[in-house]
A and B are shown apart, each in its own frame.
Chain A
Amino acid sequence: MSKLLSAKSKQVLLGPLSKNNPIMVQVLGICSALAVTAKLEPALVMGLSVTIIVALSNVIISLLRNTIPNRIRIIVQLVVVAALVTVVSEFLKAFAYDVSVQLSVYIGLIITNCILMGRLEAFAMGNKPWESFLDGLGNGIGYAWILAAVAFVRELLGSGTLLNYRIIPQSFYDAGYVNNGMMMMPPMALILVACLIWIHRAANKDLQEK
């Protein structure tokens, strides 16, 4: 195990959770963070799917990294990601149809997620498969927990539910409480992400720009 998780590997795996978070620090994958965080459930599923796909495509690109012609490397990365996403989606349709219906558009959205291209280009092209796998895992989880945090706030305040279970009791509504419709709009995701970045930077002084 010590060899598998050397100091560098540990940094590669755990860094993206906070100090090198794809959303809060690298500011990648914002587009999907806006689209899928109105409810907690799709946010969790999206986080999980992205984690798996980033990790796998990182490994594949890392294995191919010495053969890929420099001028078409982005195209090669895109083809690998698109092929992987399509295969996963086909398997879901055959063996987990309900999940595939629930994911519907999100599966396709994974292809366009900037984190994928970002990690392939910045990490997998220059590192060994195992480290690339850890990097993909770390970034996927770093992305997933931010999505979950934003979706938690948006679903709770916007719909009064969590994972579609009613949290805010009916008596609150009878007393005049109203769901915050703004929370369901994409701009609120941006504002919440900005709040997270604010808190994160306040806590990590070394991340602040001069």
Chain B
Amino acid sequence: MNTNKNSYTIIYAAVMVVVVALLLALVSGILKEKQTANVELDKKKQILSSLNISTAGQDAEALYNQYIPKAIIINYRGEVISDDRDKAFNVDIAKEMSKPLEKRELPVYLATVEGQTKYILSLRGAGLWGPIWGYISFNEDKNTVFGSYFMHASETPGLGAEIATKHFQNEFINKKIKNAENKFVSIAVVKPGQQAEGKDYVDGISGGTITSHGVDVMLMKSIGQYENFLGQVTDGGTAK
């Protein structure tokens, strides 16, 4: 057979494209449900990780239901818009943060750890190569960090990617996001050895300067949109 003819080449290319497209569509279609379930389970693991709860080798679903019985959606004024737990879980923070502040619907996960309420907020920002995101949990005072979790899509291994290690995340524990005047100032991520004026700070990653700065900006912007919510401090109960 002459495989050099124009007609043969065109037909070959057309058939190949159709076959490959069908194959990929089929694979994607069959596996979609399982993948979505995995993504949701992974999100639950990430949220649990911000409470310093290890899910390794355990049923993350059960742990999630045990520790996080409630989740709400608030607006920028700190008013509760919805207390539907599943709806709050499914909020896409990246999408919300692209809207103007007044229109955003922000999720807050209310966890109960050893009888104490913890508030978990969603974080989203940019690293050097791609998005970074995470969760940060606060004690009942809505000021002191209880735990944090950061993840990235494509930061440099050994450098920026170190933000995903517990070593870095544990630095945030017990840091405060408000200053002495009770104003929100966030937590700074500074170059190791340097200091930040008037607010709590942690050491960034050596060699991962841009990613560290990305975390700094992410904390400022993401936690900043919850400022009014964080301002409402009640005695233990849920802010109304």
**A69 touching B27 by the CB < 8 A rule?**
no
- For B157, the chain A residues whose CB sits under 8 A away are 36, 38-39, 42
Taking the closest CB of chain A, its distance from the CB of B6, in whole angstroms, is: 9
Bitwise interface map of A from 92 to 111 toward B, beta carbon under 8 Å scored 1, else 0: 01110100010011000000
**Chain B residues, CB < 8 A from A71:** 4, 9
Q: Which residues of chain B are within 8 angstroms of A86 by Cβ–Cβ distance?
A: 24, 27
Whether B159 is near chain A, meaning CB under 8 Å from some CB there, is yes
Among B12, B13, B23, B38, contact of A87 (Cβ-Cβ < 8 Å): B23
Q: Shortest distance in angstroms between A133's beta carbon and chain B's nearest beta carbon? A: 21
Which residues of chain A from 124 to 155 have any CB-CB distance to chain B below 8 Å in the complex? 154-155
A118 on the interface (CB 8 Å rule)? no
Min C-beta distance of B15 to chain A, whole Å: 10
Contact of B8 among A36, A69, A158, A181 (CB under 8 A): A69
Taking a contact as CB atoms closer than 8 A, the residue among A36, A76, A184 that contacts B207 in the complex is A184
Interface string of A170-191 (1 = CB under 8 A from B): 0000000000010011000000
> Do A79 and B24 touch across chains, with their CB atoms under 8 A apart?
no
Q: Is A70 within 8 A of B3, CB to CB?
A: yes
1/0 per residue, CB under 8 A from A, across B1-23: the answer is 00110001100110011001001
Task: Report if A27 contacts B (CB, 8 A).
Answer: no
Within 8 A of A (CB), among B66-116: none
Question: Could you tell me which residues of chain A, from 25 to 69, have a CB within 8 Å of some CB in chain B?
Answer: 36, 38-39, 42, 66-69
Interface size class of A (residues with CB under 8 A): 20 to 34
A76 cross-chain contacts in B, Cβ below 8 A: 12-13, 16
Q: Is B156 an interface residue (CB 8 A)?
A: yes
B154 surroundings in chain A (CB, below 8 A)? 104-105
Q: B158 and A90: CB pair below 8 A?
A: no
Q: Bound state CA distance, A70 and B12, in angstroms?
A: 11
Which one of B28-36, B142-150, B180-188, B226-234 is at the interface?
Answer: B28-36
A181 to B42, CA, bound (A): 32
Number of A-B contacts (CB under 8 A): 75
**What is the interface of chain B mostly: helix, strand, loop, or mixed?**
helix
Q: How far is the CA of A158 from the CA of B208 in the complex (A)?
A: 14
Closest CB in chain B relative to A148 CB, distance in Å: 15
Contact A72/B31 with A105-B154, A159-B158 known, Cβ cut-off 8 Å: no
Pick from A42, A72, A91, A181: contact of B13, CB below 8 A: A72
Interface string of B188-209 (1 = CB under 8 A from A): 0000000000000000001100
A70–B31 Cα distance when bound, in Å, is 35
Is B153 positioned at the interface, with any CB of A under 8 Å from its CB? yes
Instruction: Tell me if B35 and A104 are in contact (CB < 8 A).
Output: no
Q: Look across to chain B and name the residue whose beta carbon is closest to the beta carbon of A76.
A: B16
Bound state CA distance, A91 and B28, in angstroms? 9
State the CA gap A71–B20 with chains docked (Å).
19
- Cα of A105 to Cα of B35 in the assembled complex, Å: 17
Q: Is there an interface contact between A94 and B16, defined as CB atoms closer than 8 Å?
A: no
CB-CB nearest in chain B for A41: B157
Chain A residues within 8 Å of B, Cβ to Cβ: 36, 38-39, 42, 66-72, 75-76, 79, 83, 86-87, 90-91, 93-95, 97, 101, 104-105, 154-155, 158-159, 181, 184-185
Q: Which 8 A-B pairs have the closest CB atoms?
A: A38-B158, A97-B38, A94-B31, A69-B9, A94-B34, A184-B158, A105-B154, A38-B157
Q: What 12 additional pairs, Cβ within 8 angstroms, besides A36-B157, A70-B4?
A: A38-B156, A39-B157, A72-B13, A83-B24, A86-B24, A90-B28, A90-B31, A93-B35, A93-B38, A94-B35, A104-B153, A154-B158
Can you list 7 pairs linking A and B with CB atoms under 8 Å apart?
Answer: A67-B3, A69-B13, A72-B9, A90-B28, A94-B34, A97-B42, A105-B153
